[in-house]
Amino acid sequence: MASPSSLHVSAFVLFQVLFRGDLGLPVLAEGAVWKSWDLLKDGFISVLDKARSTPYGRLLTRFSLLRLKHSSAVGGASLAAKNIGVDLPLNYQENVDVFYTHSFP
């Protein structure tokens, strides 16, 4: 059975710019459900593999699961600052830990 999380992630194959970086498609894994990654893993990968068979998904060759190092409020503060014309630069790679990466054959 596919997890709801994997179905949501598979929708992002339409936005190819999101998975062209070194991490492939970065997936922010927030919430208690990700503590059961070992149980979700096979179904999650299967759904993304099926998404790769679509015209938009064929370029998805890799994905990475990320955990925030800091509160999500940091991102909210950045968006609020941007909204009032203030630049609050963030180094996104320094704000996450990559806990799983998968490359499709």
pLDDT at residue 2, rounded to an integer: 54
Please state, as a whole number, how many other Cβ atoms lie within 10 Å of the Cβ of residue 47.
19
Report how far residue 15's alpha carbon sits from residue 56's, in angstroms, rounded to the nearest whole number. Answer: 8
The total number of structural domains in the chain stands at 1
CA geometry: angle 10, 28, 45, nearest 5 deg: 40
The more confident residue out of 2 and 8 is: 8
Report how far residue 64's alpha carbon sits from residue 87's, in angstroms, rounded to the nearest whole number. Answer: 28
Q: What is the pLDDT of residues 15-67, one digit of tens each?
A: 777 778 889 989 999 899 999 999 999 999 999 998 888 887 788 899 999 99
- Could you tell me the pTM of the whole model? 0.76
Report how far residue 87's alpha carbon sits from residue 78's, in angstroms, rounded to the nearest whole number. Answer: 8
Q: What is the CATH number of the domain that holds 36?
A: 3.30.420.40
Q: Which domain holds residue 98?
A: 4-103
Which pLDDT band, with edges at 50, 70 and 90, does 72 fall under? confident
